[in-house]
Amino acid sequence: MSAWAKDQGTESSLITLYGDPRSEVTKALDLVLDHPGPMGVLGNPRCKRFSMLVKDCKIKTLNVAAAADDPAGDDRPDISMVDKMLEDLDKLKRDEL
């Protein structure tokens, strides 16, 4: 993960990248991507596409790109991308004032 963090420019930043090789976090968050469509291509269960804003060890927002008609979240990835996270951060900041 350190090589990925370096490549993505997140080393020594607020963002921490980590792996979930046994899907422990994925399962705990109920974000297992096990729909037959994507599984036919991917083979093994994966984690759904998501972003999460955590503050003081509490989940403030959880944005999951998957939908009933798009289990992999490929058609609407923007739900879990940076612009949505910036919107969430701004809302959190306003709510705390």
pLDDT band, residue 97 (cuts 50/70/90): low
- Backbone φ, ψ for residue 19 (5° rounding): -95, 165
Q: Give pLDDT tens digits for 3-47.
A: 988 999 988 888 888 889 888 999 999 999 887 776 677 777 888
Q: Give pLDDT tens digits for 35-91.
A: 777 667 777 788 899 999 988 899 999 999 988 888 888 888 999 998 999 999 999
Cβ atoms within 10 Å of 10's Cβ, excluding its own: 14
Report pTM. 0.76
